[in-house]
């Protein structure tokens, strides 16, 4: 006569008992009563005709038979739970998490999200914007776009935007301070950097040791001395810097690749020559184990034009 097959309802209970070494602890973990867990183990022992636990005042330990069954239960549950997770992912819309800073999220990524969604309407993109220079080691991102140099991110990173900045302000501010030549932003030949040294400047001041160009770098490149003036304003995100420039609060350094839209529509105008650092800029770094959907986003971003929208 064929042996009676075990009812598999005991598997998760017995796995928890063996792992926790206590009927009470297993019951608490599973949301069951201690008598219910004890009853399940006794019924299992009766079906097998062997003791599975050695019960003591300080808990329960597995017998040789119990250890063998526990190892089988652990392996089976691991495979079942992994399959369940995979099935749930099959029925879920793919989600890709992109970590970056506020400036890149606002001025580069957000204007392009709609384009990506038209290409991949089945993929949801979660943009995690932060003032931090790096997401750390918690593996919270599928792809990161960070500011720095290749030495900061390694050979696996791809440069998206070169660090190239130039002075910008609103058209009204430029007109009031004589920074326009016949209605057009002054070029290198007509614009005198010394004029900007006397105007209120807008500074990005988000970290104690910024890795990007600041006004002191621009004036050093122009060989123009400049001391802070009472109208200078420091802000902790690049979005605020750009908004202040649009609101006639002063002159900002515009990052090419981020403010192209504002220059194109005339919201901001260039009022000075650029300075550049080709080895520095925004770099795309894939996460440790990108999904197929993440690789779709990564390849799409890399294929986008470096400048403009």
Q: Which pLDDT tens digit goes with each residue over 243-263? A: 999 999 999 999 999 999 999
**What is the spatial distance between Cα 214 and Cα 205, in angstroms, rounded to a whole number?**
9
Would you say the CATH fold of 162-280 matches that of 8-90?
A: no
Residue range 95-160+281-303 forms a domain whose CATH class is: alpha beta
The mean of the pLDDT values for the chain is 85
**Ramachandran assignment for 178, one of left (phi > 0), alpha (psi -120 to 50 degrees), beta (any other):** left
**What is the spatial distance between Cα 71 and Cα 275, in angstroms, rounded to a whole number?**
64
pLDDT number for residue 138: 47
- CATH fold label, 8-90: Arc Repressor Mutant, subunit A (1.10.10)
Closest-CA residue to 47 (of 76, 9, 77, 12): 9
Q: Which residue has the tokens 């040789």?
A: 64
Q: What angle do CA 212, 190, 259 make, to 5 degrees?
A: 35
DSSP 112-165: HHHHHHHH-TT-EEEEEE-SSS--TTS---SEEEEEEEHHHH-TT-EEEEEEEE
Where exactly are the structural domains of the chain? 8-90, 95-160+281-303, 162-280
pLDDT number for residue 190: 46
Say if CB 224 and CB 193 are below 8 A apart: yes
Going by C-beta distance under 8 Å and a sequence separation of 6 or more, which residues neighbour residue 91?
A: none
The pLDDT tens digits of the residues spanning 185-241 come to 444 434 678 889 999 999 998 666 778 899 999 999 999 998 877 889 999 889 999
The pLDDT tens digits of the residues spanning 100-138 come to 998 899 898 888 888 888 888 888 888 998 766 555 544
pLDDT number for residue 151: 87
pLDDT number for residue 307: 54
The pLDDT tens digits of the residues spanning 151-185 come to 888 888 999 999 999 999 999 999 999 887 543 44
Closest-CA residue to 256 (of 195, 192, 168): 168
pLDDT number for residue 83: 87
- Burial of residue 16 (number of CB atoms within 10 Å: 0-12, 13-18, 19+): buried
Tell me the pTM.
0.64
What's the CATH architecture for 162-280? 3-Layer(aba) Sandwich (3.40)
The pLDDT tens digits of the residues spanning 267-290 come to 999 999 999 999 999 999 998 888
Say if CB 27 and CB 37 are below 8 A apart: yes
Q: What angle do CA 54, 55, 59 make, to 5 degrees?
A: 115
């Amino acid at each position: 006569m064929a042996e009676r097959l075990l009812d598999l309802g005991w598997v998760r209970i017995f796995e928890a008992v063996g792992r926790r070494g206590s009927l009470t602890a297993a019951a608490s973990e599973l949301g069951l009563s201690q008598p219910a867990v004890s009853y399940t183990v006794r019924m299992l022992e009766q079906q097998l005709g062997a003791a599975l636990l050695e019960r003591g005042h300080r808990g329960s330990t597995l017998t040789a038979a119990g250890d063998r069954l526990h190892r089988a239960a652990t392996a089976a549950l691991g495979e079942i739970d992994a399959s369940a997770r995979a099935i749930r992912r099959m029925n879920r819309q793919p989600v890709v998490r992109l970590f970056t800073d506020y400036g890149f999220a606002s001025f580069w990524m957000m204007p392009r999200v709609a384009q990506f969604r038209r290409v991949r309407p089945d993929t949801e993109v979660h943009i995690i914007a932060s003032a931090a220079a790096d997401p750390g080691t918690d593996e919270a991102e599928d792809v990161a776009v960070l500011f720095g140099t290749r030495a900061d991110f390694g050979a696996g990173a791809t440069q998206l935007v070169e660090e190239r900045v130039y002075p910008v302000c609103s058209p009204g501010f430029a007109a009031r301070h004589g920074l326009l030549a016949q209605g057009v932003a002054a070029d290198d030949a007509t614009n005198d950097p010394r004029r900007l040294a006397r105007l209120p400047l807008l500074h990005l001041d988000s970290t104690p040791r910024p890795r990007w160009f600041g006004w002191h770098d621009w004036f050093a490149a122009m060989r123009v001395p400049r001391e802070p003036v009472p109208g200078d304003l420091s802000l902790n995100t690049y979005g605020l810097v750009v908004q202040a420039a649009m609101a006639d609060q002063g002159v900002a350094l515009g990052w090419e690749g981020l403010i192209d839209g504002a220059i194109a529509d005339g919201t901001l105008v260039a009022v000075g020559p650029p300075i550049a650092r080709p080895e520095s800029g925004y770099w795309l770094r894939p996460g440790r184990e990108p999904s197929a959907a993440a690789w779709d986003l990564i390849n799409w971003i890399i294929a986008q034009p470096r400048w403009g929208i």
